[in-house]
Each structure stands twice: as C-alpha cells, then as structure tokens.
Structure 1
C-alpha cells in the first residue's frame, strides 16, 4: 500500500516501488488535492494557485507537466490517479493511506488510545518548513495549518486532563510539555505540568516550570500569574523545604525497554526511541554502529540513558545502515544522515533540540547545527573529531596505514568484543560488558558493513564548517582517549566560537565507560542553560552559481532571448524544485541558488546541463558551501562571492566544486579531480576547487 505523509513534511512511499522524487510545486499540488479528496477542481484554478505569476499559457503548461509527473510517481492500482470531467480533475487516493485523514479520524474519537494514536500521527504541522512564493497557495496552506494545529491542540488538551485524572504523571508531563510548545501562555497547562512534576518527586522542575510561566506572561502580556498558580508555587516551595518522605525511585534494572518507532527518510526506515520527559529535547547520535534495543542490556549504558532521561526528553536513533534501521546498500552521505535526524525530530514534534553526538556522530551534529541553527538549541560533542584521517595540517588522526591495520584486526575478531581495548580499556576486566559489547556489535552491523562504515568515516572533513557553528556548544574529551586523540577535541574547541571545552580524566571513548556520571553531570549543567538562546540568522548553505554559454559556431548569431527565458521560467525551475533548491538571483544567462544539501546542488547542476545540451546551450557551474546571512528568502555573504569567482574558472560544460563540497560528499558517488585554486579580494587564503564527475543512476 502507498502512504502519503503531509504532517511534519512531505513524504510519499509505496511498499511496492522505490520512493519517487517530487518537485516543490508538484508536492504542493499533491497536498492541496489530497486534503480535498473527492472534490473536483478546475484546471484554471489549479494553474492560478501554483503558477499564477507565470501568465496563463505558461501556467497551463506547468500544470500539465505536474499532472504527468504525479501520474508517473504515484501509479494507481485502482484505475487512474486522476478522475477527469471536462475541465475539472479529482485526485483519486482510494489506495493511498493519507496521514492527515488518519489523524482527523482518530482525533474525532474519544478514547485515550485513539487520541494517543492521533498525536503519534501528527508528526508536525502541515508541510512543516515548506513554502512557495505563490500567495494563493500560501494563504490556503496557512489556513489549513491553523485548522489542523487547532485539532491537535484539542487532542492534547483532552489527553492532559485524562492523564492528570488517572495519575499517569509521566504521560501528563510529556503531553503537557508538547502542548506548551504551541501555547506557552496556558496557565492551566503549566499548573498541571507542575503538579505532575511534583507527583514524580521532581519538585525543582515544578518550580522551574512556574518560572517559565511567570517569565512568559511578563514578557508577552505584561501580566503576573493567576492566584491559583502562585498558590501552587508556594505549596511546592514549602514541600521542597520539608524533609522528603517519598519512596526511592524504582531500580533502573527493573525498567522496561522503550518501544521502537520508525520514520521514513528518503526511502529508508530510520529507527528511533524516546525516553524521559524533561523540559528539553536532546537527540543522541552515536558513533560508528549501534543497536537501540541492545543498548538497554548493558547496565552501564542503561544507567547513562536513564540519567539523561531524568533531565531531558531523550531521543535516540540508529543511523541508516546500522542497528534497527534499514540496512541500506552502500554508504550514505553525511548530509543524508543529517536529513534522517531531521525526519526523526519532525516525527516526535521537536522544534528546537540539543544535539549530542559521539565520535563520528558528532560530525553529523556539527553539520546540522550549522545548517539548521533555528532548530538547534545546543550542541554537545563527546570524543568527536573534525577530520577522519591524518594530514600535515591535522597530524593527530591515524594514518591510512594505521587505519587499515586496525580494520584488519577488527574484521578478523568480529564476533568478539572487537577493539574494546581501545574503545573502553576500563571495561576489559568486566566479563559481562565484554560479552555484551560483542553481541552489541554483531547486532549493529555485519562485518563488511562495519568495516565500510569505519572506512567511510575516515573520508569526513568538517573543518571548513566549524566557523559557521553559532549555537551554544559543549565539547567533552577524555585525556587518554585511544580512538580520538585529545588534541582533536582541543582543535574543535579552538575553531567553534564560544565553545565550552571540558577535559575529563580517563582513557574510555564510549559514553558508558569509567566515570560516566561526570560526563552526564557536564551535559546536564549545559542543557539546563541551552534553551534561552535564540537562533542565529547566519546559516550554512550550499551555493550553486551557474551560467549559460553558447559554444556552437552555428548558433553564434542566433537570438536566444526567448529560449533562455523559457529555460529560466520552466526547465531550470523544475530541476531546482526537484533538488529542493531556492533561486535567489537571476540574470539573462545566469542564476544563483542555495541548497541545504551539497550533493543535491551538484546533481542539480548536472541535470540542468544535460537538459540544455540538445538545445545547443552549454552550462558551466560552480558549487561551494559556506556561511551566509539569511534575510527572508534572500541570502548574502562571502560564500556567494566565492562561488561567483569560482564560476569564472569553470570551462564550458564543466561543473566545479570547492574542497568543502568534496569533503562532505563522501559516499555520494561523485568524483573529484583537482583543478586549481582561487581567491576573493584581499583574502589571504586560497580556495581549492575540483572538477566534478557524476554518473547519474
């Protein structure tokens, strides 16, 4: 069966086929028609809704192309995908599970189970993060978002009251916290959350919740909390001052393993678990390989996870290709893994999150923090590194020969606690932990996959993006870490502005090793102060600068003005939509666009170049990644200047890219050949660039 997800973003998956790629306006049309299933729409109305600024003939042609794309991407097993009657069309979704319809059906029911299921379906707002520069569509989308959000609020209100009445304090905390992210001035919800915290024996959190309520009312409405709220606060303060007579918490060993959930991301199922119910969201991205379920079998790691869950809502994932997530063929790119994390955060309704990355997981978290600062409340790096292999200007990493020797030993010893002597020397005499670690690795990846993932991590180099990280950052490193040298942690601290750096004694690389409580203490102190900082307007983007040139002698004197206008208005726009790019500048024969994902930008350049060739038009393009300032839908910054200068170095028909693009494209199938270097203005450092080759699948 096919599944169409519109809540929290757009995703279409068919159990019987590979995930298709939709352009932005095609996605918009599918969403519009899906929310009005069974209703007919005139072609004129649809064309004006999405292409009104193009003029009627062009809009009609765009509509025909979009309808054709939908038919190909969403084939119907029950007749045609569209029901046509004269000039009107209706989208037939009888064989498609649409999450909006499922949410509305569940939300209309009254049992707690149905309401819980409704909120599980509501991963986020309708087409969250999606927008078009078409006012009619934006108006419709705004109304629909508000309508569905209002239904979700009603569901959460019912659940909060129900959980409060039956003394289900943990669920009450989780639901009330989610409701307050949408309606932060609801004093009744603040009170129920305070009472739930207090019933759990977490009086300090209850008092902090009052302070959040009070501060929000003063800041937004210039009001003081109601009398009932103040009285509850005074009661809780008195309780904290009295001797505690509550029962001790249940043993961590008696806790049950949390359920595993899945979210679809670019065709792959990503496994995640959520535990804890603190006021701050933290997502933990592990290094190398992992297994969500097996993690709970280690008393030491379970202890760490329980401690984290006491002060945050802890979200954990198995990265694609590992653990309980899809074991995809080949190696994914860093940006694909970043988008997997974003999909998980959307699924759990986390809008601002503290990213906690260990080892190679830290690289992805750094890229996410630079790319999506508005969604990053803070960044925690433990045993992390900037570059995966030795180089003269990064001499602390292992050489390729050392790495290959280690991999040979790991492959030989797979099935045993491979390399535990380096990962956690303090646990080598713990027979249970050794046996568990061996099982953990076996269930996290196959030997070949584990070696491939390790080798892929050596191709990572995120040094160029470190100056673009502008979120609160904590870097923790063990002085004797054998997997990642302490100098690598110090390097990160020097190059991430404002980062707090903490060195801890010990040799263990893993988070559950010796003196793990000290690590969690540092994280807890950091997380407590992470949320108040607002997002920065500086973001990391991939810039595509392209120019159309005429190279065939027989076309030298032709008038290509209309043809170039056609390409700008239609063909280039289609490819940018497919690659999720945003065009920000345009001239008669060139354009500038920005992307979140570098491989998408490069592939988009190739797609446009290849589509132009039959028309005698030749494209050259340059791709660079750098920090820009965001002003609405416009971007400015040195990254754009560098891409423009690089473009002048590209030959007709050539796609060139900077070194940072090469460093972040490991596993993408792109190949890079060094071409030269250039500088901008008075810059003291040169920019190395490469000619890119790609064989499209």
Structure 2
C-alpha cells in the first residue's frame, strides 16, 4: 500500500493536495463541508447522524449523503487505498492516510524544542480563517462545530505566541515579534498586554512602549476591561517575577453539613481578594493527599496564584463523611451548592473534571445566575448504562465485583484496573502513588457505589440550558473518555469552545506538557471578557 500523500488545508481557503498537486474540490459546498467534518473529527459517524447534521430539511437525506460520498470517493480513493470508508451504518476517513495543515501547529503548540525560525515558518504557513468556503449558515449545529474549530485554532496560536514571547533565552527583538502576535490573537488578555509592553520597552525603547501602553489602555477601556498596570520601573522581569511567585502552601480546610447531616470537607487557598474559582469534586478526591500529588497538584497550585481557589471532597471519600446513606448524582449537585454557600459565593466560574464535569453542567443549568464561566475537562454527559452492549454491561459489572473484593488489599492489581486507564503514560512510581491514593481515599463499598452512581449520570438535556461562556478541554488520546465524547458534548452547549491537549491521560500528570497547556487554556479563558 502506498502513501496517497493527501493533505487538507483547513486554515484559509479550504484545499486538498495530493503531493504538490492541487486537487479540484466538488462544486457542492455541502460536500466540501462533509469532507472537512469527516477529516477533522477523525472518527466514525453514523449515516443517520450525518443526515441530521447536513440534510435534515430535505425530502431524501440519505440520497443526498450517498451523492456526496460518491463525489468524495472519486476524489480521495485511488488504486487500493480507501481513504474514505463506509459500511451500512457508518462513514469515516482513514486519518492515517490524510494530514491536516493544523497538525503542524498542534505539534508546535504541544511540543518543546522547536527552533524559533522553524516556528516562525509554521506560524506564517498557518495564517488565515479556518474552513473558508465550508460555511453553511442555514445549518446551526454544523456552524457551531465550525466555530469551535476556529476558536481552538485561535487559542492554539495564542499559546504558541505566548511561549516564544516569554522565552527569556530569545533576544528582545524576537520576543517582541511574538508578543505582537499574541496580543493580536488575544487582544483582551492582560498577560498578553503586559508582555507586549515589556518586550516593546526593551526591544524598541521607552517611547514605543508608552505608545503601545496607551493604545492598549484605550482598547481595554472601550471593552470595559481593567488593563494591567504598565509600570516602566518594574517592567524588566516584573511579569516573570509574578509568574514565579510561590502560591500559598497552606490550605484552610473547613466543613459544611448537608441537609441529610453529611459533613462535606472543603478547602480554600489563595488571596481572598482574587477572583474566585470553584472546582467541583470528582472521584477520587482527598484535600490533604492530593495537594502535593503528582497528578493535579501543579494545576491546583498554579490556579491558586491568580484565583481564590475552592475545592471539596465528595461525600463518601477524602475528608468528607464516608458512612453516608446516599451516594447519588443529585446529592453531588446538592453538596456543591452547600460548599459555595458556605464560601459566601454568589457568582463564580466553575471547573469540572471527569464526572465532576457532569455535576458542574447540572449546577450551571439549575443556577445560571450563579455560574459566570464553565470549564470542563475529560467530560461526559451520560453514564455507560445508557448505550452499553450486553457484553459491555457484563464487563463493567465484573469490574465492580473486583472492586468490592480487592480494593483494600495491599496487592494493587485490582486498583490497576483504574490507574492504567486513568493514566496510561504514568511511571511505575506515579502508578504506585495513585494505587495507594485510591486505597486511602475511600472504602471498597463506597468505590462500588460511586461506580454505580456514575453509570447512570444523564445531563444530556442540561447541555442546551447552559447560558455562560464554556470551555471544554479534552485529552486527544484519552483512553477512558474518548476525545469524540468531549467534542460531541461541546457541540451541544450553546457557544462552547473546544480545545484538545496532546495526552493519553484522563488525569493529567503535572510533569507533562499537556498539563501546562491546560493551565494556560484555563487562565486565558478566565481572563477573557
């Protein structure tokens, strides 16, 4: 089998190339849009779902789909290579046979070691509005997906520009170039504004920096946003100093009692004068053990530098009561409400991870006046019992039996069922820590009760009720909750932004670059208007 050499240009005018040759695209815009959707999503789609997305208003949507697929097969498939595949139920593109121009930008944004010159070439080669010529204004669900792709592209460019603008090993003139790019991509980012000012000061001098500061101050003022403090005397190294400032190391742990008498442990850390950020509980939490853990600890400490960060242990685990009558989804949502009330918060951004994302979704749907922004990571909107095959049901229930019998044993083999899928890239030392962490966090009985509660989660009807700006972040190689699940969830939340990080881990390790990228995404999103 030979390589077809197919590359799809998604940024700027939508184009298809085989080698150096530009291929003529179908005249039908809907067919081009179908090609873009299949190639970028990179997964199987049922014929029914494609009909609903592209042909829901026609008399014979299946006929329309068949016609478009016939055009794409003639364009993509050559000799014995089937780039476009289909069966009676589904349609998909073999992504190993196609490259996207955004792949180079993704690599640049998620890897280290690129020479600045090479990064500059990639930046220039990936400039433009994504999916030009693929717009279908009358198809709102499809256009929501297009907009999420465009937003992901902008965030990715912003993270690339930010990295080089803040690279202290580069000359100020080079950093200034990247700082200008960053502020263009993120015009209301206070971090981008200060960095642009700092770089301009040392690259072009005081008058140029003062002029830029004046323009930025006016721009922020017109948007109703407080600009950063442009202090000339503190400019050199001031921003670096702020980023390197140690986060508070002491948490304040308190307890709040639910309506059923269950005691919920919650912690706050960071300057109480800083903007609040609440993290919904997820399995498994322990306020003391995970503060210095190799998994989420770097994220917690980084977020507490800029926010009054509040989190809590779920009922049945951690420092919260273990002996409880109910471990249910409704109680999880109720406990979140008690915590934010105890913290005295009226309106706040909410961060949900894994099944904590579903809790956050329900809370935001029930109390839209209280949630200012929503960040979801590794999210899913329904438990496995809703669409599992009989074989999958047997497998899942067998895991519950193993959990109940082996959770508390010294032999970690049973708990490896979870740790290997949560963190497939973890080292043996990290797996050993996670195994012990699980054992100390909850009982085997409660672990089974959690698994049962998660299996019946259903917030699908809540997604359309979300009224606040929402960022959905997902590991592209997540082995526990596939990236496609996060993408579909984002498409169903009005105006939601989708961003991928390059990792196979459902729980990000603090040492991996994806963790750094995740923090940047969250901070930039929270700082945006």
**Cα offset for 1:364?**
0.8
**Cα offset for 1:367?**
0.6
* Cα distance between partner residues in 1 of 2:527 and 2:358: 23
Pair 1:516–1:275, CA change in 2 (3 A): same
Pair 1:398–1:459, CA change in 2 (3 A): farther
- Which residue in 2 is equivalent to 1:403? 396
Select 1:321's aligned residue among 310, 316, 319. 316
* Cα distance between partner residues in 2 of 1:350 and 1:247: 26
* Cα distance between partner residues in 2 of 1:444 and 1:517: 26
Select 2:258's aligned residue among 261, 265, 282. 265
* Cα distance between partner residues in 2 of 1:369 and 1:398: 35
Matched, 1:295 2:294: no
Structure 2, unaligned stretches of length 5 or more? 1-212
CA offsets per residue over residues 326-347 of structure 1, 9 Å max, x none? 1242333323322221221122
Select 1:375's aligned residue among 359, 370, 375. 370
Please give the root-mean-square deviation of Cα atoms over the aligned residues, in Å.
3.6
* Cα distance between partner residues in 1 of 2:249 and 2:464: 42
Pair 1:256–1:487, CA change in 2 (3 A): same
**Cα offset for 1:436?**
2.1
- Structure 1-normalised TM-score? 0.40
* Cα distance between partner residues in 2 of 1:349 and 1:251: 26
**Cα offset for 1:413?**
4.4
CA offsets per residue over residues 370-419 of structure 1, 9 Å max, x none? 1111110111111111110154xx57999322311333344454242532
Select 1:490's aligned residue among 484, 487, 490. 487
**Cα offset for 1:501?**
0.8
Contact 2:327–2:450 (CA<8 Å) still a contact in 1? no
Contact 1:331–1:453 (CA<8 Å) still a contact in 2? no
- Which residue in 1 is equivalent to 2:457? 460
- Which residue in 2 is equivalent to 1:280? 275
SS of aligned partner of 2:398: helix
**Cα offset for 1:265?**
1.9
* Cα distance between partner residues in 2 of 1:478 and 1:259: 31
- Which residue in 2 is equivalent to 1:573? none
* Cα distance between partner residues in 1 of 2:477 and 2:350: 24
Contact 2:423–2:508 (CA<8 Å) still a contact in 1? no
Contact 2:250–2:269 (CA<8 Å) still a contact in 1? no
Matched, 1:444 2:438: no
Contact 1:331–1:452 (CA<8 Å) still a contact in 2? no
Select 1:347's aligned residue among 342, 347, 359. 342
**Cα offset for 1:494?**
1.6
Contact 2:295–2:508 (CA<8 Å) still a contact in 1? no
Aligned residues: 306
- Which residue in 1 is equivalent to 2:235? 241
**Cα offset for 1:489?**
0.8
- Which residue in 2 is equivalent to 1:509? 506
**Cα offset for 1:508?**
0.4
* Cα distance between partner residues in 2 of 1:469 and 1:450: 30
Question: 1:494-643 counterparts in 2 under 5 A?
Answer: 494-512=491-509, 514=512, 515-529=514-528, 532=529
Contact 1:380–1:475 (CA<8 Å) still a contact in 2? yes
- Structure 2-normalised TM-score? 0.52
**Cα offset for 1:438?**
2.1
* Cα distance between partner residues in 2 of 1:508 and 1:496: 24
Question: 1:127-138 counterparts in 2 under 5 A?
Answer: none
CA offsets per residue over residues 81-140 of structure 1, 9 Å max, x none? xxxxxxxxxxxxxxxxxxxxxxxxxxxxxxxxxxxxxxxxxxxxxxxxxxxxxxxxxxxx
Contact 2:315–2:324 (CA<8 Å) still a contact in 1? no
Mark the structure with the bigger radius of gyration: 1
- Which residue in 2 is equivalent to 1:414? 407
Pair 1:436–1:494, CA change in 2 (3 A): same
Select 1:388's aligned residue among 383, 387, 391. 383
* Cα distance between partner residues in 2 of 1:321 and 1:347: 19
**Cα offset for 1:248?**
8.9
CA offsets per residue over residues 465-511 of structure 1, 9 Å max, x none? 11111111111111221221222112211211111011222210014
Contact 1:275–1:315 (CA<8 Å) still a contact in 2? yes
- Whose relative contact order is higher, 1 or 2, with alpha carbons under 8 Å and at least 6 apart? 2
Q: Choose between structure 1 and 2: higher strand proportion.
A: 1
